[in-house]
Amino acid sequence: MSRFRDLAALSLGVILAASAAFAQQGGKLGLGRPASPDELAAWDIDVRPDGLGLPEGRGDVLTGEELYTGLCAACHGDFGEGTGRLPALAGGEGTLTDEFPVKTVGSFWPYLSTVWDYVHRTMPYGNSQSLSDDEVYALTAYILYLNDLVDEDFVLTRENLPAIRLPNEGGFIPDDRAGTELPAFSAEPCMENCKDRVEITARAGALDVTPEAEER
Amino acid sequence: MSDSDGRRGATRRGFIKGALAAGAGAASAGAAGAEAGDPAITELQPWMRAFGPGVDASPYGLPSEHESHVRRRYVEWLRPDTISAVNFTPIHQLDGIITPNGLCFERHHSGVALIDPGRHRLMINGLVDTPLVFTMEDLKRFPRENRIYFLECAANSGMEWRGPQLNGCQFTHGMIHNLMYTGIPLRHVLDEAGLKPGAKWLLAESADAAAMTRSIPLEKALDDCLLAFAMNGEALRPEQGYPLRLVVPGWEGNMWIKWLRRIEVGDRPWHQREETSKYTDLLGDGRTRRFTFEMDAKSVITSPSPQAPITHGPGPTIITGIAWSGRGTIARVDVTLDGGVNWHTARLSGPSFDKSLHRFYFEFDWDGRPMLLQSRAIDSTGYVQPTKDALRAVRGVSSGYHNNGIQTWAIDSEGRAENVEIS
């Protein structure tokens, strides 16, 4: 009896050790449970540039204008020009090489799917996921219109969205630091008499924008 | 700085002045009497006479009230509100390599999600054999690992691209923390769902109202990413993603999705808002780098610095700071006192972990003359932290993110420090 118990304990130990090793090797522990279709539908809301994830639906510029005026303009401005420190959604074309570039959907964003996805997941600010799919199509159409990229009779649909190109799509390049920076920044550094003279060229004190400056 | 620091400083200065006056008096009046002893010794202090609070007076312990000035700070003009905002780790007041949990900087896009862990789920979907749902209890049954990593926001030092702006390393370099995470390798959970052929990218998503999303190459996920539920031995703080956050070692902080609720597997990136409109690097020629995940090697002197001046005058003086690299460990840190004419190799102290903060010290005898202090990190790949001008020559000034240039503090003869740039 007691020997039997020992044996059982021993084999249990073997099983546990074996399954831990199994997990390390990429096996399965049988944890978790399958996601149901309604659970997937509730959470799988992301949209890709090729249209994967876009739901059925449509929306036109004029419907979008009405929605925008009621739900968005207070923060993003009547013409998408932004208010205070809240972001502009339109304008800024041709400013990317300026001293102070203005990055908007029209001037900077590479893909329209990102507008649909972002507005749908988190706008209006403070009332996330309150818009219907058709409303998001209409608002996205209106943001295109604010950027002079479509006419006022334009209708955005699941079918035509992936084909619409934003002006700066070609402006993006992959991370090229491995070629452009790493070799240049990997030389053995100088330790002695590295410069003839040193001058201060700029000071933060001149700006005085640090919080609690009076306490320091 | 803070009230309590100010008082302490005033007392110390008062003491020095008093001692000087006493010395002068003694010189003029001869041996008119012994100097009065230090009241900290000659007078009975309250804590020497009476009991303090008993055991359990503070079941979750807090720092001394004399340390209340050591806190995160917020820069009001940076962001429109405190909901999608950032505050900063007080790195000028910390030592060692571990950041205390309550001092880790915060960056949220829809405030702090207050999640009931019993109602938190992690879903794995997309290119997998079986889409799965896990409870927190399920996740804690996978084999765990403990690892120490820094997390740096890609926008750390971002305000300084055009020139020195903020007087304090808390503000210029405080979007960083370094913690021991307890969690499970992400690959275990992906294996559990079964990756389908063609799987190349993941999309991680948060459960807060921002539903924050980032695309992550599968290779990285299988290499060293963790699903973490603890920081420094206790549950994650709500502002750090309680009950579950993604750990993406060495890569920009925005990818370390907090309040993690879902990971989708796909064959290409999603180009979400935080990897197109934000967290991309606009170069001077109008082109924009995307998917600049790795954090370049960087260091900063945390003391002395504008919020932590030298208060003791000439004599033995300690320079200390932190260094880190998203590509490995820190091999060496050099320090200069004269704006880069001559450099001295600093002393590293404390454990040296991959993709973790390293602590350096340089002890010297300050002659009381003004100094231009800089530190320069060299990582295990041989990469040498560049000057800000060298970075600008490659990237222009509108990049906003990934500013790892060498920081300069000008120290005046009083020991005060200012954020400057030099030739």
CB B74 within 8 Å of CB B153: no
Q: Does A44 contact B264 at a Cβ distance shorter than 8 Å?
A: yes
Using alpha carbons, list the distances in angstroms from residue B251 to B54, B216, B218, B296, B355: 45, 10, 14, 9, 9
Contact B288 A108 (CB under 8 A): yes
Residue among A128, A185, A203 minimizing CB distance to B420: A203
* Angstroms from B114 CA to nearest CA on chain A: 15
Q: Strands (DSSP E) along B63-144, which ranges?
A: 73-74, 85-88, 107-108, 121-126, 132-135
* Neighboring chain A residues of B142 at a CB cutoff of 8 Å: 23, 29, 31
- Report chain B residues whose CB lies below 8 A from the CB of A43: 123, 125, 205, 261-262
> Residue B59 — left, alpha, or beta (φ > 0 → left; ψ -120 to 50 → alpha)?
alpha
Would you state the pLDDT for residue A22? Answer: 47
pLDDT of residue B34: 67
Facing A86 at nearest CB: one of B80, B210, B419:
B80
Q: Find the residue in A nearest to B4 (Cα).
A: A215
| Min Cα–Cα distance to chain A from B37, Å | 31
Which residues touch A47 (CB under 8 Å, ≥6 apart)?
A53, A54, A113, A114, A116, A117, A120, B270
pLDDT, residue B21, reads: 39
pLDDT tens column, A101-147: 999 999 999 999 999 999 999 999 999 999 999 999 999 999 999 99
Give mean pLDDT, residues B191-198: 97
Q: Does the pLDDT value for residue A213 go beyond 90?
A: no
Query: For the segment B80-89, what is each residue's pLDDT rounded down to a tens digit?
Result: 788 888 999 9
Closest CA to A44 of B120, B114, B133, B241: B133
Q: Is the dihedral of CA A146, B278, A175, B246 positive or negative?
A: negative
- B423, A99: Cβ pair inside 8 Å? no
Given a cut of 60, whether residue B242 has pLDDT beyond it is yes
Which whole number is the average pLDDT over B279-308? 98
Over residues B381-396, the pLDDT tens digits come to 999 999 999 999 999 9
Residue A14 has pLDDT above 60, yes or no: no
**Do the chains contact at B73 and A96, CB–CB below 8 Å?**
no
Q: Kind and range of the H or E element at A34? A: strand A33-34
Domains of chain B (ranges; CATH) run 12-22+295-420 (2.60.40.650), 117-290 (3.90.420.10)
For A90, how many CA atoms within 13 A lie in the half-sphere containing its CB?
A: 20
- pLDDT tens track for B223-233: 999 999 999 99
pLDDT the model gives residue B33: 55
State ipTM.
Answer: 0.89
Which residue of B277, B294, B419 is the best one to mutate when testing the A interface, meaning the one whose CB has the most A CBs within 10 A?
B277
Domains of chain A listed by start with CATH number:
43-171 (1.10.760.10)
pLDDT band of B151, cuts 50, 70, 90: very high
With bands split at pLDDT 50, 70 and 90, how would you rate the model's confidence at A4?
very low
Burial annotation B193-211 (CB, 10 A radius, 16+ → b, else e):
bbbeeebebbbbbbbbbbb
pLDDT (0 to 100) of residue B97: 98
Residues of B with CB below 8 A from A47's CB? 270
More confident residue, B84 or A11: B84
Q: Note if the pTM is more than 0.95.
A: no
**pLDDT higher than threshold 80 for residue A216:** no
Is residue B285 pLDDT above 90, yes or no? yes
Residue carrying the six token digits 């400057």:
B420
User: Does residue A80 surpass a pLDDT of 60?
Assistant: yes
Q: What is the mean pLDDT of residues B74-85?
A: 84
Residue from A39, A97, A112, A176 whose CB has the most chain B CBs within 10 Å, to mutate: A97
pLDDT tens digits for B91-144?
A: 999 999 999 999 999 999 999 999 999 999 999 999 999 999 999 999 999 999
> Position B328: which residue type?
G
Q: Which of B123, B192, B343 sits opposite A28 (nearest CB)?
A: B192
Average pLDDT of chain A to the nearest whole number: 89
The pLDDT value recorded for residue B185 is 98
* pLDDT at B40 (0 to 100): 96
pLDDT exceeds cutoff 60 at A26: no
**pLDDT for the residue B199:** 98
Q: What rounded mean pLDDT belongs to chain B? A: 92
